[in-house]
A = this chain, B = another copy of it.
Amino acid sequence: MIQKLISNIQKTNAPIVVGLDPMLGYIPEHIQKKAYAEFGETLEGAAEAVWQYNKEIVDCTYDLIPAVKPQIAMYEQFGIEGLKAYKKTVDYCKEKGLVVIGDVKRGDIGSTSAAYAVGHLGKVQVGSRTYAAFDEDFATVNPYLGTDGIKPFLDVCRQEKKGIFILVKTSNPSSGEFQDQLIDGKPLYELVGEHVAKWGEECMGDTYSYVGAVVGATYPEMGKVLRKIMPKSFILVPGYGAQGGKGKDLVHFFNEDGLGAIVNSSRGIIAAYKQEKYAKFGAEHFGEASRAAVEDMAADIAQALESR
């Protein structure tokens, strides 16, 4: 799947991923109204609004982007109905040729971690049959529990040719509380990065590993260091746009080959129609606003990479 991600990036010439984090507050009123008219102001109604919103954004952007990253929390808050919309979104994006990164940030130990790995990336055995439950291409994983939590994911990744992105340095303001603490003079995130590199060696594609890392755009200097610690790992970079990251902050997340990073924007793309810059599209044409925002983001990053 890392090969498909690379080939999609090369095809679109855009190392970007659209974060499908559909908060109800982002969803235009006409979409919500229609969904509630059909299903009432219910969890089912909310899930329908989420799905219709996602579908239009994907329809308007899929030819420009290599991947999407649905954030499962935004679906999980609506319970079973929300998770049905998550699964529908995953399937639809895959049909459209996109790589799907499930932003699930799961992490547990032993058989529990194996259950998450199987449920999101692999196949579960039921009697004599097997089923893929959520079936994303990649999943994000939390490292706090150590190798016991990661290994079951590696096993499934090798089997299914899928991948993971492990949280290393997250984009939020308080990420330093634990992640920046110095251990023998070296911050914890570097130690985690070293483990990512080591785990990654056991799961290699042609040039890059199936094991990537999450490093926030909001910490470009740390990204530069981590890029060198994990040369074979793709870095998934959240925090572009709405969280403050800009194209020029991102160049050091990439390798010399122009690969090695994929930059996420969620709000900045899916709720672009709410920004003054794209207001001309209006809420009715929010998908077109998202398309314009994708084009601008791709151009910003391409320019930053060219002028480095």
User: Is A253 an interface residue when CB atoms closer than 8 A count as contact?
Assistant: no
| Cβ-defined contact, A178 with B80, below 8 A | no
User: Is B175 in contact with A82, judged by CB distance below 8 angstroms?
Assistant: no
Q: Is the CB of A128 within 8 A of B172?
A: no
CB pair A73–B115 under 8 Å, yes or no, is: yes
- Asked if A124 CB lies within 8 Å of chain B CBs, one says yes
Question: Considering the chains assembled together, what is the distance between the CA atoms of A46 and B148 in angstroms?
Answer: 26
Instruction: Say if the beta carbon of A229 comes within 8 Å of chain B.
Output: no
Instruction: Report B-chain residues with C-beta under 8 Å of the C-beta of A134.
Output: 76, 79
**Closest B residue, CB atoms, query A105:** B108
Residues A92-147 near B (CB distance < 8 A): 105-113, 115-116, 118-120, 124-129, 131, 133-134, 142-147
Q: Which residues of B contact A172 (CB under 8 A)?
A: 109-110, 145-146, 148-149
Contact A78-B124, Cβ < 8 Å, known A73-B108, A131-B43, A182-B183: yes
Copies of this protein chain in the complex = 2
Min Cβ gap A85→B in Å is: 11
Interface residues on A, range: 35 or more
Q: Which 10 A-B pairs have the closest CB atoms?
A: A79-B133, A41-B127, A146-B177, A77-B119, A146-B174, A73-B115, A109-B172, A148-B172, A77-B115, A147-B174
Residues of A within 8 A of B (CB): 21, 23-24, 32, 36, 41-43, 45-46, 71, 73-74, 76-80, 82-84, 87, 105-113, 115-116, 118-120, 124-129, 131, 133-134, 142-149, 167, 170-179, 181-184, 188, 191-192, 195
Sample of 20 A–B contacts (CB below 8 Å): A36-B127, A43-B131, A45-B126, A46-B126, A73-B115, A76-B116, A76-B133, A76-B134, A77-B116, A80-B83, A105-B106, A107-B107, A107-B142, A109-B170, A109-B171, A145-B172, A145-B174, A145-B175, A146-B175, A178-B188
Known: A42-B131, A80-B87, A144-B167. 11 other contacts (CB 8 A): A41-B127, A41-B129, A43-B131, A45-B126, A46-B124, A78-B131, A80-B80, A109-B170, A146-B179, A149-B174, A181-B191
